[in-house]
Amino acid sequence: MNNYRKILRIFLIVAAVCVCAAAIAFIVSKTKSRDEFRFPKNAMIQGVRVGGMNYSQAQSALDKKADLSPESFSLRVSAGEREFTLTQADFKYLLDYQSALNNLRAYSENHPLSQGASASIPYRVEPESVRAAVRKLARKIDKKPRNAKVKSFRPFSKKRFVIQNEKSGISLDRQSLCNMLTEFVNSKQPSGKITAIVDNIKPSRNSAKLRKSLKKLASAASYSYNTESGTINMRLALEACNGSVIEPDEVWSFNKHTGNSNSTANGYRKAEVILRKKLTQGVGGGICQASTTVFRAAVLANLGIEERHNHHWASGYTMSGEDATIDYPSLDLKLKNKSNTPVFIECGLRGRKLVVNIYGVKSRKYDNVKMYSENYDINYGRYYKTATYRVLYKKKKPLKKERVCTSYYSLAEYHAVRPADDGTFAR
């Protein structure tokens, strides 16, 4: 029994060796026969002369001819209202040299008297070149939808906002066009026309929706008990800021809008100012009440406060911690629009009342905003501090609380602690 198994094992090994040897012999003989075969005189493949060459030589000749390409074609592509023409030059191809060589040999062997045999190279279009052509067309075809937007802002008018209507966009169906182009090019037709699928893209905000969503986000007011010159300075500053539009992520500067408020050339007059920790007369006195009113409205509109400075002494026209002093160009009030839609500032002087209104698209994340302040670290005769907070509410419940700023006020020269805002100060 053991002898039988040994004999069977030896037989199988010998058989396997014989099969491998036969396969190698077949490959060698095939290669030899291919190298021994010569293409007939004047034989050509896709315009390349291969007459008298063997397989290897013909393959090398085809490889060196870099400009080999399929026969020319013209394809019109219609997409929406536009039309484009594509040719064979817009694509790359996968050429099957081996099939061309085999086809030419088979023809030559079946027609031994033929001296001018020719063959074309079978091909198919390279998928990535199709995708590249479609991307190129998409850049010309695609149009983003245009949302309705505020074309112009007219503060204090009955019709504050002039709305530019929305416009639909279009997007090329890339995958379907890739499929159609691949099918056409591989079909080897000389010409054709295909209609690409173009999808309409609706804008996310139409004019009716925008008009409805524009709300007064916040208001702030104060009264001027200053001199006539001081009140005129307030009016000039508010007029300079009136009509401001703050785009998303934009930082707005009070000083940039007012210009040099220390210059009479800009219309500003002398009035009482705090200079070097003393009350004195200076050009632009009084405009700090304007910047203060803007600051309070900005906090209530949930704008970002990028820069704000408190006075040396607490101001009598607002609650402690809610003032914003200006000194061009060193001290500024800067606001940032943290939303994804523009905000609009409406401000001016009505008699002696300073009014600031801020408009925009109201966020759905919160319903209301409140501002309050707390005095602390009171050192009578020297100084005290005030922390100012903003609280966002949703359904009358606090959603978020943040400290907006901290103020340091001097109590020297018999100045008193100014009352803090408990959240009920008139806006």
CATH number for 183: 3.10.20.800
Residues 265 and 306 in one domain: yes
Residue that terminates a domain, selected from 350, 366, 382: 366
Per-residue pLDDT at 66: 58
Residues 196 and 296 in one domain: no
Per-residue pLDDT at 67: 64
Closest CA to 182 of 126, 135, 137: 126
Other CB atoms within a 10 A radius of the CB of residue 410 amount to 15
Per-residue pLDDT at 30: 46
Residues 178 and 303 in one domain: no
Per-residue pLDDT at 32: 44
| Residue 5 included in any domain | no
Residues 311 and 350 in one domain: yes
Residues 201 and 228 in one domain: no
Residues 184 and 258 in one domain: no
Encode 271-315 in three state secondary structure.
Answer: EEEEECCEEEEEECCCHHHHHHHHHHHHHHCCCEEEECCCCCCCC
Per-residue pLDDT at 10: 57
Residues 298 and 359 in one domain: yes
**Residue 348 tokens, joined:** 């001016």
| Residue 361 included in any domain | yes
**Residue 215 tokens, joined:** 């709300």
| Residue 398 included in any domain | no
Q: Across-strand partners of 19?
A: none
Task: Give the long-range contacts of residues 324-327, CB within 8 A, separation 24 or more.
Answer: 324/288, 324/291, 324/292, 324/294, 324/295, 325/274, 325/288, 325/291, 325/292, 326/254, 326/255, 326/258, 326/261, 326/284, 326/287, 326/288, 326/291
Residue by residue, DSSP assigns 191-218 as EEEEE--EEEE--S--HHHHHHHEEEEE
Domain of residue 354 covers: 215-366
Per-residue pLDDT at 26: 47
Residue that terminates a domain, selected from 338, 366, 394: 366
Residues 170 and 78 in one domain: yes
Per-residue pLDDT at 100: 86
| Residue 2 included in any domain | no
Task: Give the long-range contacts of residues 101-110, CB within 8 A, separation 24 or more.
Answer: 101/45, 101/55, 101/58, 101/59, 104/39, 104/43, 104/45, 104/50, 105/37, 105/39, 108/39, 108/40, 108/43
Alpha carbons 293 and 323: distance in angstroms, whole number: 8
| Residue 310 included in any domain | yes
| Residue 193 included in any domain | yes
* Residue 125, SS3 per DSSP: strand
Query: How many structural domains comprise the chain?
Result: 2
Residues 311 and 288 in one domain: yes
Alpha carbons 79 and 76: distance in angstroms, whole number: 10
Residues 228 and 194 in one domain: no
Residues 240 and 317 in one domain: yes
Give the residue ranges of the chain where pLDDT is below 70.
Answer: 1-35, 66-68, 113, 115, 276, 426-427
Per-residue pLDDT at 16: 56
| Residue 49 included in any domain | no
Residue that terminates a domain, selected from 366, 385, 407: 366
| Residue 387 included in any domain | no
Residues 170 and 76 in one domain: yes
Alpha carbons 149 and 205: distance in angstroms, whole number: 8
Tell whether pTM > 0.85: no
